[in-house]
Amino acid sequence: MRQNEFHRPVLAEQAVDLLITDPGGIYVDATTGGGGHSKLIMQRLSSHGRLLCIDADPDAIHYAREQLKGFENRIFRLMYFDQADIALLEENMLPATGFLFDLGISSFQIDRKEKGFAFQGSGPLDMRFDPTNPLSAETVVNEYPKEKLETIFREYGEERQWRRIADKIAQVRGKNRIKNTAELAEIIRSAIPSVQLNKTLARIFQAIRIEVNDELHRLERALNKAFCCLDRAGRIVVISYHSLEDRIVKEFFREKERDCICPPDFPQCVCDKRQEMHILTRRPVTSSENEIRENPRSRSARMRAAEKTVNYSGIL
Ligand SMILES: C[S@@+](CC[C@H](N)C(=O)[O-])C[C@H]1O[C@@H](n2cnc3c(N)ncnc32)[C@H](O)[C@@H]1O
């Protein structure tokens, strides 16, 4: 399989331009996927530079390993990215110079029906990045209390029809377990009017995927850990694909940039807060029309980056 068939990296040049400040530095590709960004990073590093490639999906690690065969100084870890600190410590790679997060799922994961991420066609209700994760979409759909499903659809899917869809699922699963993505898609179709049906399907599938992989909590933890692992002037670059992820990144960077958290009516600052990062992207970077034409999945990409302005403390 060629690289672009597995996954075409989004905002690739721009991401790597923002990430690499020192070609001899230590970098983390926290979502190595098909290795597209990883390869570009390796091409820009000198012989002293090192790259840690992380992914929770063994297929991604297997594929990326093949893609990066010709390079030295890169290592692979099959793990969730909120454990990157452990890998960096074990590999004697602290402090790090930069972290790249290209969130969500790869084209390969969407296209493989057996992974259960797509609402077209039929596959098992799986949706796990890590196949050893005890929680799959099958459990979420069939065993979560209806109220919990409602919350997930509302909060992780931002879907207005959350109540109707959860109601319908509860009704159907009361008779027989819901087994595959085609059945789930059909239940959603039958619960709502057909206007904007694909958008609703995408939102509900996204919501279940976020829950299964605990994506938002992992992102919050990973950003905090990445910050701790970074050297002074090291950077975090994040490409996100929906507003929930983007909000977390934006708020994290903003909080790190603030040098005071006193209420605005305080006559003078009494807090200990100091600026810890400087935001490099006042507005999120988006794909060009050209990139969107060639790779429609880049349409929703939003990239943000920030640079650490305090010293590495060495405490993990
Ligand atoms: C958009 S793809 C990355 C594509 C990659 N940048 C490339 O150029 O091929 C996202 C990847 O991140 C992985 N992933 C998502 N969340 C993760 C997490 N919390 N920990 C580790 N890997 C994660 C997915 O398994 C997927 O392979």
Q: Which residues lie with the beta carbon below 6 Å from any ligand 1 atom?
A: 7, 9, 31, 33-37, 54-57, 60, 80-81, 102, 104-106, 129, 218
Tell me how many helices (H) and strands (E) the chain has: 14, 7
Angstrom distance (rounded) from CA 204 to CA 153: 6
Q: Which of 107, 129, 297 to mutate to test the pocket of ligand 1 (most atoms within 8 A of CB)?
A: 129
Total of domains in the chain: 2
Residue 6 has pLDDT above 80, yes or no: no
- C-alpha distances out from residue 126 to 23, 52, 137, 212, 275, Å: 40, 28, 5, 9, 42
The tokens for 42 are 């390796």
Domain that includes residue 208, residue range = 113-213
pTM recorded for the entire structure: 0.96
Position 58 pLDDT exceeds 90: yes
Which residue has the CA at smallest separation from atom 22 of ligand 1?
Answer: 55
Q: How far is the CA of 225 from the centre of ligand 1 (A)?
A: 17
Tokens representing 74?
A: 């890169």
Instruction: Specify whether 44 is located in the same domain as 61.
Output: yes
CA of 61 to the centre of ligand 1 (A): 10
- Single out the residue in 213, 233, 255 at which a domain terminates: 213
Strand ranges, E, within 79-225: 96-102
Residue 130 CA: nearest ligand 1 atom is 25
Q: Which residues of 151-177 are buried (b: 16+ CB within 10 A; e: fewer)?
A: bbbbebbebebbebbbebbeebbeeee
Residue 36 placed within a domain: yes
Question: Residue 190 Cα, ligand 1 centroid: separation in angstroms?
Answer: 32
Q: CB of 305 within 8 A of CB of 281?
A: yes
Residue 149 CA, ligand 1 centroid: distance in Å: 25
Burial class (CB in 10 A: 0-12, 13-18, 19+), 149: buried
Residue that is written with structure tokens 């179709």 in the block: 189
Query: How confident is residue 316, by pLDDT bands cut at 50, 70 and 90?
Result: low
**C-alpha separations of 3 from 56, 57, 63 in Å:** 19, 16, 9
Residue nearest to atom 3 of ligand 1 (CA): 33
Report pLDDT digits (tens) over 91-116. 999 999 999 999 999 999 999 999 99
Residue 191 Cα, ligand 1 centroid: separation in angstroms? 32
Q: What separation in Å is there between the alpha carbon of 266 and the centre of ligand 1?
A: 44
Q: What is the mean pLDDT of residues 138-151?
A: 98
Q: Are residues 88 and 175 in the same domain?
A: no
| CATH number of the domain enclosing 198 | 1.10.150.170
Q: Whose CA is nearest to atom 7 of ligand 1?
A: 36
Q: What does each C-alpha distance from 185 to 92, 192, 295 come to in angstroms?
A: 47, 11, 25
Q: Does residue 283 sit in the same domain as residue 232?
A: yes
Does any domain span residue 44? yes
- Indicate if the pLDDT at residue 315 is higher than 80: no
**CATH number, position 68:** 3.40.50.150
Query: How far is ligand 1, taken at its centre, from the CA of residue 245, in Å?
Result: 13
Residue 127 confidence (pLDDT): 97
For residue 278, report the phi and psi dihedrals to the nearest 5 degrees.
Answer: -120, 125
pLDDT given for residue 272 in this prediction: 86
81 secondary structure, DSSP code: G
State the Cα–Cα distance between residues 180 and 177, nearest whole angstrom: 9
Report whether 35 contacts 61 (CB < 8 A).
no
Residue 216 pLDDT greater than 70, yes or no: yes
Q: Is residue 290 part of a domain?
A: yes
Name which residue leads in pLDDT, 5 or 250: 250
Q: Residue 240 contacts by C-beta under 8 Å, 6 or more apart in sequence? A: 103, 104, 246, 249, 301, 302, 303, 304
The distance of Cα 302 from the centroid of its chain, to the nearest Å, equals 12
